[in-house]
Chains A and B, each alone.
Chain A
């Protein structure tokens, strides 16, 4: 099936998320849409899938124009989509999820799930998915959930499969498996539209790459194109993908976590007996697939987790059991993982957001009154220093792009002398240009002698910033290894394989391993 988009535009109010996009997906090809977060890739695919109505332009299937009024029409035309956030009902079984919307029934509308189960087993065997039709979806690992999504599309005889940022939630190993699955699907004649901003994966699997920037097609590129070339097409200027940083000059270990365990509200042990130290002037990166205890670890340090045992000390002082205010007051800068929920008050101005945790201290407050002039002065200098792109510091934080919002959070947290700096997902959803800048600031903080802890699920980011890497899996510390550990070893560790085993299977030299367990 050949799929064409001609002159597609999609406007939200006066803002064009897509403008005059042409795209041809040939049968049996893996066609990649490469672009930064917010470039308009997902919008385009939602138009194609009938979720949005295009403002202008048309869609052609095998040369004939079609109109999709809803996802049902798109599915009927042979288009399947695996969304970035899975469209699975968590409390349903795999079979119920796959059946939904295309249910086989017996007389009287009674469900016949046996038909669906059989289809699932067929597809599962064909591609080696290993999916149990009667498992409840919320109990399955994300990698398997994604396969359920693919099965959903295949059961509906999808000839074109859209994968929207499919690797964002996967471990490196699961990613490799997915790329294999994509190749298999392709050899069976299914075309794939692969949306990603990860250059390595795109180059590994694509037949054609179309680069999108700010809602427009910038051009096509072959998969053999240089990584830097693709990156500069994506960003619109020369970018440096590697960062030059001086080797760390670690001092004494001032931040110590000992036997830390956190129990979640559902009674699960989400952080399990963690022990590690961070030295002055070094960056420890916490690597791991999302949901392996990283969030709870940072929250436990900050003091917003209730059921915590163990010990967290900063310069010899115990932090556990103190209020968040006391913890921050002891010199911790904290960048939370979700800036719009925990990092900023979107309805406040940029200036106000820049003093969210300093508002009651001099010079911003005097007695019970605030001093707006000081707040404004502070805002202006921070905005300039961190290159926040905004007409005025009096604008609302919600008016900023993701990258600029993150700069505001970072500017606030780095604006006072720190004894420990923690940043969770410091560049998630941030454009490549801002990433460079934010990374540089983090390294500068390290060079100033602050112990730094970075939590990131992006292996690229971990490898770029870290002096040492601690890998978490199911709340446990799998190991702490050096920054020159090969990706493959880290990938295996992120899947729970101990460093020594991971290393043997990758035949690497053992010198860069540090025994740093409690």
Chain B
């Protein structure tokens, strides 16, 4: 026997099976878009306002015809779907940019379609984007909390409770003291307290993390609801009029069209959001602390054998995450409106959880995921106002539909920290 193990000629060897999921999904969505947004589109033109009054220079409005734009974009999507099918037949995977471009085309086609079909076919793009960022603020804080906890290996289902606890404490402390800044601080403390309970039960007593999280959400909802009716509603003047955090306008920079208001016309909570995203990212990926946190979340035993205190690290991270989510909660009562109502967080903690996964456990990814959900949220309220052909109930579903699709994976599988949700017990 002198020849090495012979193999079959290349064309006889079985080819790697290829996933048809992406090509099929793209084709179906592409064709539906072409039909609904294109051929069945509205004959009106859609107008998108780019500039607002305060800008340094004014850009002209963008006016596009409904049907023609729908057809062009729909065809564009079909071309991408065709390319994906071609690649699948060649047994090659679809590259990542295809679904991304596809999604962008889809969103624009959808916008043109709903706006051109509305009673007043005109929306302000600047307002749409600025509003998206505003609505994303609590989501970003919530998802940062999730990232911090899960990177250390603790699943944080209690984001909702932390947001709600933060919102309530911010309202009552700011009302009583008359200082929204103290309210902000109280929100952080409240979020941290919710986290302490999560940490004690899930880390020290090794109770199932999902169950503790769910129970905490119910508990916080119950307590804040009870105190709202028994205390706040008795004397709203004293207990439920926190006042708002001022919007700080950075002169000059805030007048840049579109990005000006997003980056430089925010309340302190908005600025804190950008700082927190950057700080968590640098912390996790560039510092000694972050290396240890990630090690604890990936392979706690390895961390332990190197003298890293696994459970202490987790405890600190969970509490820190709670404080951050608490600050996010203050957004509801100190920025968005200036009073607390029952369940004011409205399930955004769960959307934040989805942003953690969609953002692949990366603070920056989570930030953009949260922005996407904020965009969907804002879009539905704007579209309801301008009066679209779509029933408002369906519009209200939009953020959640986007969440489900995003997490279900237009983008493929994301990989959680290996020890996420696994309690660490020595020995």
Which of A's residues lie within 8 Å of B, judged by CB? Answer: 49, 51-52, 70-73, 75, 81, 83, 87-92, 96, 99-103, 105, 108-111, 152, 259, 261, 263, 267, 269, 272-273, 307, 309-310, 476-479, 498-501, 510, 513-515, 517-518
Expressed in whole angstroms, the minimum distance between the Cβ of B334 and any Cβ of chain A is: 31
Taking A99-B291, A110-B287 as contacts, is the C-beta distance between A87 and B302 under 8 angstroms? yes
Contact status B299-A109, CB under 8 Å: no
Can you list the 3 inter-chain pairs with the closest CB atoms, starting with the nearest? A72-B307, A101-B306, A87-B302
Q: Given A81-B305, A500-B1, 19 more contacts at CB 8 Å?
A: A51-B304, A70-B307, A89-B295, A90-B418, A91-B298, A91-B418, A92-B298, A100-B292, A101-B307, A103-B291, A111-B291, A259-B8, A267-B16, A476-B7, A477-B5, A498-B3, A500-B4, A513-B1, A517-B1
Contact status A92-B305, CB under 8 Å: no
Q: Which residue of B lies closest to A76 (CB)?
A: B307
Q: Does B393 contact A (CB under 8 A)?
A: no
- Per the bound structure, the CA–CA distance linking A439 and B398 in Å amounts to 64
Contact status B307-A87, CB under 8 Å: no
- Per the bound structure, the CA–CA distance linking A476 and B288 in Å amounts to 43
CB contacts (< 8 Å) of B288 on chain A: these are: 103, 105, 109-111
Taking A111-B291, A259-B8, A515-B1 as contacts, is the C-beta distance between A273 and B306 under 8 angstroms? no
Contact status A87-B301, CB under 8 Å: yes
Q: Which residue of A lies closest to B301 (CB)?
A: A87
Other-chain residue from B17, B287, B291, B301 in contact with A96 (beta carbon distance below 8 A): B291
CB contacts (< 8 Å) of B1 on chain A: these are: 479, 499-500, 510, 513-515, 517
Q: Does B286 contact A (CB under 8 A)?
A: yes
By size class, the interface of chain B is 20 to 34
Contact status A498-B291, CB under 8 Å: no
CB contacts (< 8 Å) of B294 on chain A: these are: 89, 92
- Per the bound structure, the CA–CA distance linking A90 and B417 in Å amounts to 11
Contact status B17-A517, CB under 8 Å: no
- Per the bound structure, the CA–CA distance linking A407 and B274 in Å amounts to 62
A-B contact pairs, 14 of them (CB 8 A): A71-B305, A89-B295, A89-B299, A91-B298, A100-B302, A102-B306, A103-B288, A261-B14, A263-B17, A479-B5, A498-B3, A500-B3, A513-B1, A514-B1
- Per the bound structure, the CA–CA distance linking A501 and B291 in Å amounts to 46
Expressed in whole angstroms, the minimum distance between the Cβ of A279 and any Cβ of chain B is: 19
Taking A90-B299, A109-B288 as contacts, is the C-beta distance between A101 and B308 under 8 angstroms? yes
Residues of B11-28 contacting chain A, CB below 8 A? 13-14, 16-17
Q: Does B303 contact A (CB under 8 A)?
A: yes
CB contacts (< 8 Å) of A92 on chain B: these are: 291, 294-295, 298
- Per the bound structure, the CA–CA distance linking A49 and B304 in Å amounts to 11
- Per the bound structure, the CA–CA distance linking A110 and B305 in Å amounts to 23
Q: Does B53 contact A (CB under 8 A)?
A: no
Other-chain residue from B14, B287, B291, B307 in contact with A309 (beta carbon distance below 8 A): B14
Contact status A100-B14, CB under 8 Å: no
Contact status B304-A71, CB under 8 Å: yes
CB contacts (< 8 Å) of B303 on chain A: these are: 89, 100-101
Expressed in whole angstroms, the minimum distance between the Cβ of A262 and any Cβ of chain B is: 10
Contact status B287-A111, CB under 8 Å: yes
Contact status B287-A109, CB under 8 Å: yes
Expressed in whole angstroms, the minimum distance between the Cβ of B417 and any Cβ of chain A is: 9
Expressed in whole angstroms, the minimum distance between the Cβ of B152 and any Cβ of chain A is: 13
Contact status B2-A500, CB under 8 Å: yes
Other-chain residue from B5, B289, B308, B418 in contact with A476 (beta carbon distance below 8 A): B5
Which of B's residues lie within 8 Å of A, judged by CB? Answer: 1-8, 13-14, 16-17, 286-292, 294-295, 298-299, 301-308, 418, 426-427
Contact status B13-A100, CB under 8 Å: no
- Per the bound structure, the CA–CA distance linking A158 and B222 in Å amounts to 55
Contact status B5-A478, CB under 8 Å: yes
- Per the bound structure, the CA–CA distance linking A152 and B426 in Å amounts to 22
CB contacts (< 8 Å) of B289 on chain A: these are: 109
- Per the bound structure, the CA–CA distance linking A49 and B295 in Å amounts to 20
- Per the bound structure, the CA–CA distance linking A263 and B288 in Å amounts to 39
- Per the bound structure, the CA–CA distance linking A110 and B290 in Å amounts to 9
Contact status B5-A517, CB under 8 Å: yes
Q: Which residue of B lies closest to A12 (CB)?
A: B427
Contact status A517-B6, CB under 8 Å: yes
Expressed in whole angstroms, the minimum distance between the Cβ of A312 and any Cβ of chain B is: 14
- Per the bound structure, the CA–CA distance linking A253 and B155 in Å amounts to 54
Other-chain residue from A88, A103, A267, A273 in contact with B299 (beta carbon distance below 8 A): A88
- Per the bound structure, the CA–CA distance linking A499 and B1 in Å amounts to 8
- Per the bound structure, the CA–CA distance linking A513 and B14 in Å amounts to 29
Expressed in whole angstroms, the minimum distance between the Cβ of A362 and any Cβ of chain B is: 41
- Per the bound structure, the CA–CA distance linking A90 and B301 in Å amounts to 13
- Per the bound structure, the CA–CA distance linking A501 and B1 in Å amounts to 10
CB contacts (< 8 Å) of B301 on chain A: these are: 87
- Per the bound structure, the CA–CA distance linking A100 and B426 in Å amounts to 19
Expressed in whole angstroms, the minimum distance between the Cβ of A335 and any Cβ of chain B is: 27
- Per the bound structure, the CA–CA distance linking A515 and B426 in Å amounts to 52
CB contacts (< 8 Å) of A267 on chain B: these are: 16
CB contacts (< 8 Å) of A499 on chain B: these are: 1
Contact status A89-B302, CB under 8 Å: yes
Contact status A307-B17, CB under 8 Å: yes
CB contacts (< 8 Å) of A501 on chain B: these are: 4
CB contacts (< 8 Å) of A49 on chain B: these are: 305
CB contacts (< 8 Å) of B291 on chain A: these are: 92, 96, 99-100, 103, 111
Contact status A51-B426, CB under 8 Å: yes
- Per the bound structure, the CA–CA distance linking A498 and B302 in Å amounts to 37
- Per the bound structure, the CA–CA distance linking A83 and B299 in Å amounts to 14
Taking A51-B305, A101-B308, A111-B287 as contacts, is the C-beta distance between A273 and B292 under 8 angstroms? no
- Per the bound structure, the CA–CA distance linking A83 and B13 in Å amounts to 41
Expressed in whole angstroms, the minimum distance between the Cβ of B209 and any Cβ of chain A is: 21
Expressed in whole angstroms, the minimum distance between the Cβ of A493 and any Cβ of chain B is: 10
Taking A51-B426, A273-B7 as contacts, is the C-beta distance between A100 and B308 under 8 angstroms? yes
- Per the bound structure, the CA–CA distance linking A81 and B303 in Å amounts to 13
Q: Which residue of A lies closest to B427 (CB)?
A: A52
Q: Which residue of B lies closest to A471 (CB)?
A: B5
- Per the bound structure, the CA–CA distance linking A310 and B8 in Å amounts to 12
- Per the bound structure, the CA–CA distance linking A471 and B426 in Å amounts to 39
- Per the bound structure, the CA–CA distance linking A96 and B303 in Å amounts to 12
CB contacts (< 8 Å) of B2 on chain A: these are: 500
- Per the bound structure, the CA–CA distance linking A83 and B2 in Å amounts to 41
Which of A81, A89, A99, A515 has the most CB atoms of chain B within a 10 A radius of its CB? A89
Contact status B286-A111, CB under 8 Å: yes
Contact status A90-B305, CB under 8 Å: no
- Per the bound structure, the CA–CA distance linking A478 and B6 in Å amounts to 10
- Per the bound structure, the CA–CA distance linking A88 and B3 in Å amounts to 39
Expressed in whole angstroms, the minimum distance between the Cβ of B295 and any Cβ of chain A is: 5
CB contacts (< 8 Å) of B298 on chain A: these are: 89-92
Q: Which residue of A lies closest to B18 (CB)?
A: A267
Expressed in whole angstroms, the minimum distance between the Cβ of A276 and any Cβ of chain B is: 11
Expressed in whole angstroms, the minimum distance between the Cβ of B297 and any Cβ of chain A is: 9
Expressed in whole angstroms, the minimum distance between the Cβ of B290 and any Cβ of chain A is: 8
- Per the bound structure, the CA–CA distance linking A88 and B302 in Å amounts to 6
